[in-house]
Amino acid sequence: MATSMALRVGKVDRILDALGDSTRRRIIRLLSTRPMSVSDLAKPLGITVTAVTQHLRILQSCALLTSRKNGRVRMCSLDASGFETLEHWVSECRTSWERRLDRLGGILDEDDT
């Protein structure tokens, strides 16, 4: 149980590190509209195809996107599994904080009586 939690936290750390870069967040926003080729991504970002490819590798390693080769064109699309990992972590954090705030509210209510 603790091992799976540590693995999940490691994945979350990598996802958050990946999303800490503004170019990678822009790539995610672009891909949220439709799958795109690497060269199509490079145009609005104003960076080279090589630079886009480096960012894509990081996003793909975190399961935030997938890519497939279609002839000579590499197409990229979002991958829900990385976002699901992040969503699960946020949900766990929210639940933990809600419990803590509920306990604090109970303590404060006791002090009022």
Q: Tell me: the pLDDT tens digits for 61-104? A: 999 999 999 899 999 999 999 999 999 988 888 887 888 887 78
Which residues, 6+ apart, have CB-to-CB distance to 51 below 8 Å? 23, 42
Q: What percent of the chain has pLDDT over 70?
A: 90
Q: What is the C-alpha separation between 89 and 31, in angstroms, rounded?
A: 23
52 confidence band (pLDDT: 50, 70, 90):
very high
pLDDT of residue 56: 97
**Average pLDDT rounded to a whole number, residues 34-41:** 96
Residue 64 tokens, joined: 């935030």
Query: Can you give the three-state secondary structure of 61-91, one letter per residue?
Result: HCCCEEEEEECCEEEEEECHHHHHHHHHHHH
Kindly state the DSSP code that residue 23 receives in the 8-state scheme: H
pLDDT of residue 113: 63
Record the pTM.
Answer: 0.78
pLDDT of residue 61: 95
CATH class of the domain comprising 2-112: mainly alpha
